[in-house]
Amino acid sequence: MQIESVTTLEIEDLKVITFRRFVDQRGYFTEHYRKGNIDENPDTSFLKGVSFVQSNESFSRVGTIRGLHFQWNPYMGKLVRTVTGRMVDMALDIRLGSPSYGKIVLRDMPASREGATAEWIWVPPGFAHGNFFLSDTIIEYFCTGEYSAGCEAGISPLSADIDWSVCDCSMKMLFNKFVADNGVLITEKDKNALCVGAWTKDSKSKNFIYGKC
């Protein structure tokens, strides 16, 4: 895995890892993950000691929105990439006491067959995670915890009390247009999930404390 760069997003704990593809007239080859390279690179020290125990793949039709999901016992951090199509990833800080609590960050992550690089986004425990899709899209994500049905919750991506103040303005505009244009393919569970205020009042929110998860 040849790491080209590591970018810190608007909330410091969210990272984008750009890795190289080897491109020629036939197409490309890439190592999209190698633990040794992650462990040895000082720019990816935030992943040192992190163990991935589950790998997921999903296909979403254009107009779909998923999330914002999170779990505890065990916590689940996610390393996410777009395989085909165009995903916009969403991460909302739910760590009580965090200076960015309730704030959301979006990252546009279109896939390209021709590009010389591709990207992972790291969404650590303490963030509610989701995505929306501007074309038919396949994504892959590695997880630091196995799925635990009894220890999960969600915040609706349509909640009016999400704080967009640190999100890139163009991403907020893209989200607004996406919602207005598509009417949104979303499950009732995700649509009717908690708002930020309701989650804050929920006793289970104490599972996520800034600096401890």
Q: Looking at this protein, which amino acid is placed at residue 19?
A: F
Give the contacts of 116 (CB within 8 A, at least 6 positions apart).
Answer: 20, 21, 23
How far apart (Å, rounded) are the C-alpha atoms in residues 18 and 32?
Answer: 9
Output DSSP code: residue 204.
G
How far apart (Å, rounded) are the C-alpha atoms in residues 32 and 79?
Answer: 11
Question: Which member of 75, 101, 129, 141 is catalytic?
Answer: 141
Q: What share of the chain is helix, strand, coil (3-state, %, to 5)?
A: 20, 40, 40
Strand-pair partners of 185: 64
Is 69 catalytic? The answer is yes
Is 32 catalytic? The answer is no
The token pair at 157 is 């991506």
Question: Which member of 69, 75, 101, 129 is catalytic?
Answer: 69
Q: How do strand 27-29 and strand 22-24 relate by DSSP bridges? A: antiparallel
Q: Which residues are catalytic?
A: 69, 141
